[in-house]
Amino acid sequence: MVYYYPIFAQKQFKNILKTNLISPMAGAFHLNYERKINNKFSAQIGFMYGGNPFLNISGFENNYRSNGIAVTPELRFYIEKQALKGFFFAISPRYKYFQLLGNTMPFYQTKAHYSSIGAGLLVGYQWLLDKKISLETYLGYSINKGQLTIISGTQENFNLDYFRNRGFRVGFTLGIPF
C-alpha cells in the first residue's frame, strides 16, 4: 500500500500591483502591473495619468497646464534565481501624449498636443517584504521621437529643448504581491 502525503510549499506570488511614490510630487499617478514569466523574466505594463510640471515652456512664465497619459510596457531580466525579487535590468518602450495649455498674455491662450514614442533601458532592485509588500527603486535612460502640434498660438511659445529625443526615468514604487 502506498501513502501520499501532501507537501506544503510556500506560496509563490506571480503578480505585483504597484504605484510610483514619486509621481504625485510631479502631479501624476502611476499604476504598474508586473507578472512573472519564469525564474529570470517578468513583464510589466505601466500606466501614467496626470500633468508634468517639469515642462519648460518659455513665454508662459509657469502659467501653463499639462495633462496626459503614458503607457510603458517593460520586459525585465532578474539576475538572481527568482523573478520579482532582486536586481534587474529592463527594456521598456513608451508612448506619451500630453495636452498643453498656457496663457502668454491676458486673454491669449496657446494650445498644443505633444506625443512621443521611445524606448529605454532601466536598472533597479525590488524587495519583497514578508511577501506582503514590494518596494522597488529604478533608474533609466530613454530615447524618444516626439511631435509637437500647435492647435492655437505659435510655436515660439514653446522651448523645444524639452521636446528633445532623450530623457531619464527614476522611480520608487510600493506594491502588493498576489
**1 in a structural domain:** no
Please indicate whether residue 32 or residue 13 has the higher confidence score (pLDDT). 32
Domain-located, residue 6: no
Q: pLDDT exceeding 70 applies to what percent of the chain?
A: 77
| pLDDT score of 98 more than 90 | no
pLDDT confidence band for 144 (50 / 70 / 90):
confident
For residue 26, being part of any structural domain is answered with yes
Tell me what the mean pLDDT of segment 133-145 comes to. Answer: 95
Residue 32 lies in a domain: yes
What are the grid coordinates assigned to 63, written together? 502659467
Mean per-residue pLDDT for 49-69?
67
Determine the pLDDT at residue 162. Answer: 53
**Domains of the chain: total:** 1
**Quick count: other Cβ atoms within 10 Å of Cβ 25?**
9
Lowest mean pLDDT among 5-9, 10-14, 22-26: 5-9
**CA nearest 92: which of 126, 44, 47?**
44
Q: 113 pLDDT band (50/70/90 cuts)?
A: confident
Lowest mean pLDDT among 43-47, 130-134, 152-156, 163-167: 152-156
* Dihedral sign (CA 36, 37, 38, 40): negative
Q: Taking the model in full, what pTM does it have? A: 0.83
Instruction: For residue 125, tell me if it sits in a domain.
Output: yes
In a domain, 7, yes or no: no
Strand, coil or helix: 102: strand
Residue 144 lies in a domain: yes
- Bridge-partner residues for 46, per DSSP? 32, 72
Q: What is the CATH number of the domain that holds 66?
A: 2.40.160.70
What is the rounded distance in angstroms from the CA atom of residue 13 to the CA atom of residue 35? 9
Instruction: Classify residue 28: in a domain, yes or no.
Output: yes
pLDDT above 90: percentage of residues in the chain = 52
Query: Is pLDDT above 80 for 76?
Result: yes
Q: Of the candidates 16, 134, 125, which has an alpha carbon nearest to the alpha carbon of residue 79?
A: 125
**Structural domain harbouring 55:** 15-177
b/e string for 141-150 if b means 16 or more Cβ within 10 A? ebebebebee
pLDDT score of 49: 96
